[in-house]
Structures are given as structure tokens and as C-alpha cells.
Amino acid sequence: MGTPHNEAAAGAFAKTVLMPGDPLRAKFIAETFLEDAKLVNNVRGIQGYTGTYHGTPVSVMASGMGVPSIGIYSHELFHFYDVDNIIRVGTAGGISPKLKLRDVVMAQGACTNSNYAHQFGLPGTFAPIADFTLLETAVAVARRMGVEPPVGNLFSSDVFYNKAGNTLDWGKMGVLAIEMETAALYCNAAEAGKRALTICTISDSLVTGEELPPAERQTSFTQMMSIALETAVEMAKKG
């Protein structure tokens, strides 16, 4: 067993994998939130761990940054490791003036300037959407915690440093925030017949230019992680 990018043994991943972008975040999540976490992949430093959360097996593995990177790792998890659910836990830049720093946003869909979906050869434009069961489970979990999460469209961009300077135009269509991975993740889940959801903390605002200082990201990050982990537990109960 193994792929060009993943050295984990068959069966090494749990049915639900949480995917932060940053490998050090994956390590931190495994060490902080999981019990008995074991390193199962470290190819290119893309750390993957499997452990348990309140008795439910859960894995966490980095996606790297951007569409091509999450495209590779999520494809392999869905197709070669029998993973059913991928929950991306990331950060996003606010496009909607209604969003505040630290808000935990759920991506119902993802617009993109990436050509990723071209590979599927469809006679039109594919609309990448979250799995409804994962989304409604995560929203219910958040509400149980007293959080009413903004739910809507994200914009998955291929460029971080956008020379055209027109990112806020997406706000005219109600798009909430910008990140760089969700459209590819949702395409891969659809193609594999599996489930995916992105949950993002708003780390900066393209509207006001504000930014969360790294040290201050912890509170909202913890809330996002609790929502994602409890969602993994609920999904295990649903079978």
C-alpha cells in the first residue's frame, strides 16, 4: 500500500479526516485534541495522524495550500484509503462586510477561478457544493454549542497575491470569504461519491484590512476544531 504522496498502510486512516492546510497545524491538532494519535504519513512533511476523539477514530492530515495540493491528497484519501468524510478546517479572508474576524464560516458551496473541474469533461460549469448531511450535522453541532455559523458560498482562488485587485467583486454575488482549496475538495468528493465540508475561521478581512494576530487565532480555532471533531463523532453514529 502507499501512493506517491502517502506512505500510510491500508486502513491507517479513520472514516473521517480533518484537513488543515498546515502540517504543523495537523500535528498540533493530533497532540491537543486526539487520544493515542499515531503518525501515519510524513511524505513531504504532510503529516497525517490517526487517533480517537471521545472514543471515535478520527484522522487529521494536512492538505497543503491551494487547489492542486488538496486535489492530490483528498483524491488519494477518498480513492485509496476508503475515507468517507473530509472536513477541511482552515482560515479564510472575509469578503462580506457582515463577517467579523474569528467568525466560523461553513462553506455551502465554492466558486473558483481554478480550471480544476475541466478534467471532468462536463458540458457546462460544475457547481461544487458541500455534502448536505455533513453540513447540516456541523450546523446542528455548532448550534448546540451556542454558535450560529454563517453558511454560504466561498471563493476558492488560485492566487493569493491577486494583481487584478478585483476579489471583492465576489461580494456582489453574496460570496462570504476567500480561501484556496474548497472547490477542488468538493469536486473530488462529488467524483468519488463521498462527503466533504469546509469550515473556516475568518483570519483577515479584505474589506477592512484587519488581520488576526497569530497569538489571537487560538480561541476561534478551538471553536472550529470542536465543531469539526463533534461532527466526526455524529457522522460515526450515523454510520
Active site residues: 204
Nearest of 111, 110, 79 to residue 197 by alpha carbon:
110
Cβ distance to ligand HPA smaller for residue 20 or 51: 20
Which one of the spans 11-19, 53-61, 200-208, 214-222 is the region binding ligand HPA (CB under 6 A)? 200-208
Tell me, by CB under 6 A, how many residues bind ligand HPA: 11
For residue 179, state whether it binds ligand HPA (rule: CB under 6 A): yes
For residue 203, state whether it binds ligand HPA (rule: CB under 6 A): yes
| CA distance linking residue 94 with residue 108, whole number of Å | 15
Out of 19, 40, 92, 212, name the contact with ligand HPA by CB under 6 A.
Answer: 92
Contact letters for ligand HPA, residues 9-48 (x by CB under 6 A): ----------------------------------------
Which one of the spans 47-55, 98-106, 109-117, 198-206 is the region binding ligand HPA (CB under 6 A)? 198-206
| CA distance linking residue 59 with residue 77, whole number of Å | 11
Cβ distance to ligand HPA smaller for residue 75 or 88: 88
Nearest of 47, 40, 1 to residue 22 by alpha carbon:
47
Cβ proximity of 157 and 206 under 8 Å: no
Cβ proximity of 16 and 59 under 8 Å: yes
For residue 160, state whether it binds ligand HPA (rule: CB under 6 A): yes
Cβ distance to ligand HPA smaller for residue 7 or 22: 22
Cβ distance to ligand HPA smaller for residue 89 or 141: 89
Which one of the spans 97-105, 145-153, 174-182, 213-221 is the region binding ligand HPA (CB under 6 A)? 174-182
Out of 23, 93, 150, 171, name the contact with ligand HPA by CB under 6 A.
Answer: 93
Q: How far is CA 169 from CA 93, 147, 165, in A?
A: 14, 28, 9
Which one of the spans 1-9, 102-110, 201-209, 213-221 is the region binding ligand HPA (CB under 6 A)? 201-209
Spell out the alpha helix ranges (H) of the chain: 23-33, 67-80, 132-144, 182-192, 218-238
| CA distance linking residue 34 with residue 215, whole number of Å | 22
The 8 Å CB, 24+ separation contacts for 47-53 are: 47/23, 48/6, 48/8, 48/12, 48/13, 48/17, 50/12, 50/13, 50/14, 53/229, 53/232, 53/233
Nearest of 111, 46, 59 to residue 85 by alpha carbon:
59
For residue 105, state whether it binds ligand HPA (rule: CB under 6 A): no
Cβ distance to ligand HPA smaller for residue 189 or 206: 206
For residue 204, state whether it binds ligand HPA (rule: CB under 6 A): yes
| CA distance linking residue 15 with residue 239, whole number of Å | 10
Q: Which residues bind ligand HPA (CB under 6 A)?
A: 91-93, 157, 160, 178-180, 203-204, 206
